């Protein structure tokens, strides 16, 4: 049985179709990862925004702010996607619901823009900090950076003794009939 998420901010049918079908996986992955991030964010309460597991760790709020601002920088500065000014990226009210809504409102126009890009655009070299990389490389680096912070916040939820939503499969809190997690040598030994 396929995974069923209880909520998707950007449902699969709303992800734009890439002009070049070979790049559809980029749009699908970015929408999916954004949905997973928003899902994790939504499990926090407003009272937990300033929580941190250690004095040298970032607070939940700092990670949410960083996610919004760093995505704006990656897409605007490095990938050269039209982005709002940095001063308008953060939500006016810094509560969990506003952070979640703001993330979705920033992702949707990026998806629309990326859907129209050509193979040449994706494989063009751009500046990335102090090096030069292909846009597609920078894009995947962004997805990995996002997954890192999503996982960081999932650990925060567990440390707060809260439920952790499913991202790629069953968790200690979420499972379904037909779920087949790979937690044994037998499961890992299966082949097609």
* Rounded-to-integer distance, Cα 30 and Cα 36, Å: 10
Residues near 113 by Cβ (< 8 Å), separated by ≥ 6?
81, 82
- Candidates 3.40.605.10, 1.10.10.10, 3.40.640.10, 1.20.120.450; correct CATH number of 19-167? 1.20.120.450
Q: Where are the domains of the chain?
A: 19-167
- What does the pLDDT read at residue 190? 84
User: pLDDT for 73-111, tens place per residue?
Assistant: 999 999 999 999 999 999 999 999 999 999 999 999 999
Residues near 97 by Cβ (< 8 Å), separated by ≥ 6?
none
Residue from 37, 31, 49 nearest 149 by CA: 37
Asked if pLDDT for residue 175 goes beyond 80, the answer is no
User: pLDDT for 7-54, tens place per residue?
Assistant: 788 999 999 999 999 999 999 999 999 999 999 999 999 999 999 999
pTM as predicted = 0.90
- What does the pLDDT read at residue 176? 76
Q: Are 63 and 149 in contact (CB under 8 A)?
A: yes
């Amino acid at each position: 049985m396929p995974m069923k998420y209880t909520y998707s901010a950007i449902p699969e049918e709303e992800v734009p179709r890439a002009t070049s079908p070979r790049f559809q996986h980029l749009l699908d992955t970015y929408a999916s990862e954004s949905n997973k991030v928003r899902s994790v964010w939504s499990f926090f309460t407003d009272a937990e925004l300033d929580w941190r597991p250690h004095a040298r760790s970032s607070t939940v709020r700092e990670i949410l702010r960083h996610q919004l601002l760093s995505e704006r920088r990656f897409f605007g500065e490095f990938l050269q996607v039209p982005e709002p000014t940095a001063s308008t990226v953060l939500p006016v009210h810094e509560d969990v619901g506003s952070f979640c809504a703001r993330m979705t409102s920033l992702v949707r126009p990026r998806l629309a823009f990326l859907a129209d890009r050509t193979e040449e655009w994706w494989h063009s070299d751009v500046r990335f900090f102090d090096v030069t990389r292909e846009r597609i490389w920078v894009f995947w680096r962004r997805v990995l950076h996002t997954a890192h912070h999503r996982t960081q916040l999932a650990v925060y939820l567990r440390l707060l003794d809260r439920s952790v939503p499913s991202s790629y499969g069953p968790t200690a809190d979420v499972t379904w009939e037909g779920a087949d997690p790979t937690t044994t040598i037998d499961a890992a030994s299966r082949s097609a």
